[in-house]
Amino acid sequence: MGFEKQAARTSLSLNGTWGFCLDPNDDRSIEDIPFEQGHTIQVPGSWEEQGYGEVSEHEPLGTWKKEREYIGKTWYWIEVDSSKLVSDQHHYLVLSGVHWFTDVWLDGEFVGKGEGLVTDQRFDLTSFIEYGKVQTLVISIDNRLHIPLMESHIHSYHTATNWGGITGGVVIESLPVTHLERVSFYPEKEVCSWRMRAEIRNAKTGDCQLSVVIRENSGEVMKVVETDIELQPSHSLVEVEFDLSLNELDLTLWSDRSPALYDVECSLYQEGSVIDCIKKRIGVRHFQTEGHHFLLNDQPVFLSGYVDCCVFPLTGYPVWDKAHYVEQFKIAKEHGFNHVRLHGWSAPKPFWEAADEEGMLVQTELPHWSFHYLDRSVKPPEDVQSFFKRELVRMLELLNEHPSFVMLSLGNELIDASGHEELNELVELARSIDSSRIYTDNTGFGQLPAHDRQGDFYIQSLNWHPPYELEYAGTPNTTEDYRELPS
């Protein structure tokens, strides 16, 4: 089908120099920000690496020591020229690499609150934009532990430290009024089939069409699928779900040995014109468990892996540099690794792009290492459970397009032999959102065989942690038949 025009998604980068001040006593408000007398800071970047904070008095044994340290609230501000934004579009502020509570104002009007340790934060600025005017954007960032998460590698001295700042950058994304809010792909058990779901945010009624084009890396079109959609009343969210059969295509399945990727272009058009377009680079693969084995594309796969504890000694926070991760994975592959566990954290987008391209099978985790779930009879704090539920949903939405994301654990060393009902609920939630990955309630601890625990796989401790039975604590090897162990 021929289109009259290509839809325009644009982004305005706000990276660069921002106004900045610390608020150690948490006594400032939007009315008394020192716009003229404040300091400056570079975005992206952390507070500490730019000289803010006090010299660290922390004397570690086995963990990092930061040169400077600041825990508390800070204020950022910058002028935004709204004449650079396209009118009659939706405008979203996106913060990447933020720890971890935020508030946003535009020209003194409160826009909203954000949170997150391993996911982007997104704010709808549309109703606050005054086109043609220079407006002041203010962000407060607070890295204090307002929710008692205890320790996790993403926010403690084990090991990334509780850094502060905006390490991934700031952009304003501008989307057409009627646009694709989200496009998700879920590999079905039949390996060459996707279940596709598109969510459309619209401002006007009428019929439109959704076109999905699959291309080789060379750009050659392999398949085009089109479906009709009837939009509903103003600003509603329309969900479209359909199966995308790929059996007739000569596809190379994505795997650790052959990480084949394809370009997918999803276009929304109406009356012969494209009104929005999303492009993704994804792989076709299926990952599951069967008996005592992991299966990748219906073939047993042995995971030879290493643990990544969020170790970034030069920055103190995960870097946003794809080349860094490509080099890391190439070295890992040279040493025979095809698997990596992210210990108590999840990595930024460049990590996943590199993992897709290099063929790494990744287990990611919620930013979670606490004792709140050790006693099954005691419920965890409500704010802790609620935060992990929200962060889990955000992670699954953010990582959907990455074939390297195959496994997710709810955290590190969380439970005793009985597991915990609240963790079971999170596993069920994850399965209901995306059944194309496999999930477990915990990494380390937890008696085996599992007692009333939800999980597609289980990872037992291999150190002094309970249980102490040698049969379960022995080092894995290739000669032991673990099915012969007593139950």
Taking the C-alpha atoms of residue 447 and residue 419, their distance in angstroms, rounded to an integer, is 9
Provide the pLDDT for residue 451.
Answer: 72
- Least Cα distance to 292 among 75, 467, 457, 149 occurs for 457
Q: Are 369 and 391 found together in one domain?
A: yes
Q: Which residue has the higher pLDDT, 465 or 481?
A: 481
pLDDT digits (tens, 9 = 90+) for 214-250: 999 889 999 998 988 887 766 577 888 877 777 788 8
**Is there a domain that residue 377 lies in?**
yes
Residue 487 pLDDT class (50, 70, 90 cuts): very low
Q: Average pLDDT of 455-474?
A: 62
278 compared with 462, residue with greater pLDDT: 278
Q: What pLDDT, on a 0 to 100 scale, did the predictor assign at position 100?
A: 87
Higher pLDDT residue, 42 or 417? 42
Task: Indicate whether 37 and 78 sit together in one domain.
Answer: yes
Residue 1 has pLDDT above 60, yes or no: no
Q: What is the pLDDT at residue 96? A: 98
Distances (CA, A) of 428 to 149, 214, 227, 421: 21, 32, 31, 11
With pLDDT > 70 as the criterion, what percentage of the chain qualifies?
A: 88
In a domain, 2, yes or no: no
Which range is most confident: 46-50, 113-117, 298-302, 356-360? Answer: 356-360
Average pLDDT over residues 42-68: 85
Domain range enclosing 357: 287-484
Whether 1 maps to a domain, the answer reads no
Residues 294 and 439 in one domain: yes
Residues 251, 324 share a domain: no
Look at residue 61 and tell me if it is in a domain: yes
Ranges of H-type helices in 239-321: none
Mean pLDDT score of the chain, rounded to an integer?
A: 88
Both 198 and 276 in one domain: the answer is yes
Q: Is residue 3 part of a domain?
A: no
Residues 6+ apart with CB under 8 A from 299: none
Looking at residue 486, its pLDDT comes to: 39
Looking at per-residue pLDDT, the higher value among 298 and 452 belongs to 298
More confident residue, 437 or 160: 437
Identify whether residues 318 and 408 lie together within a single domain: yes
What is the structure's pLDDT at 471?
A: 52
> Within this chain, do residues 230 and 323 fall inside the same structural domain, yes or no?
no
Residues 6+ apart with CB under 8 A from 114: 95, 98, 101, 102, 103, 104, 121, 122, 123
Position 446 in a domain: yes
Q: Which DSSP state fits 334? A: H
With respect to residue 4, please indicate whether it lies within any of the assigned structural domains: no
| CATH number of the CATH domain containing 96 | 2.60.120.260
129-168, pLDDT tens digit by residue?
999 999 999 999 999 988 888 776 667 667 777 889 999 9
Whole-number Å distance between alpha carbons of 75 and 20: 6
Q: Is 140 in the same domain as 95?
A: yes
State pLDDT tens for residues 304-356.
Answer: 999 999 988 889 899 999 999 999 999 999 999 999 999 989 999 999 999 99
Q: Nearest CA to 430 among 389, 466, 464?
A: 389
186 and 59, same domain (yes or no): no
Q: Select from 112, 147, 175 the last residue of a domain.
A: 175
Residues 148 and 117 in one domain: yes
Q: Please tell me which residue, 357 or 148, carries the higher pLDDT value.
A: 357
Higher pLDDT: 296 or 475? It is 296
- pLDDT for 485: 46
Does 4 score more than 50 pLDDT? no
Which pLDDT does position 484 carry in this prediction? Answer: 54
Query: Based on the domain organization, do 377 and 479 belong to the same domain?
Result: yes
In the listed set 175, 210, 228, which residue is the last one of a domain according to the structure? 175
In a domain, 98, yes or no: yes
Q: Are residues 313 and 373 located together in one domain of the fold?
A: yes
What confidence tier does 481 reach under pLDDT thresholds 50, 70, 90? low
pLDDT for 99 beyond 90: no
Q: Give pLDDT tens digits for 251-292.
A: 899 999 999 999 999 999 888 889 999 999 999 999 999 988
Helix (H, G, I), strand (E, B) or coil at 455: strand
Question: Domain tally for the chain?
Answer: 3
Q: Is the pLDDT confidence value at 7 over 60?
A: no
**Model confidence, pTM:** 0.91
Lowest mean pLDDT among 37-51, 174-188, 302-316, 435-449: 435-449
Boundary-marking domain end, from 122, 143, 175: 175
Determine what percent of the chain is predicted with pLDDT higher than 90: 60
Strand locations in 202-347 (E): 206-215, 221-231, 237-245, 262-270, 273-282, 287-290, 293-296, 299-301, 305-308, 339-342
pLDDT band at 58 (very low <50, low <70, confident <90, very high): confident
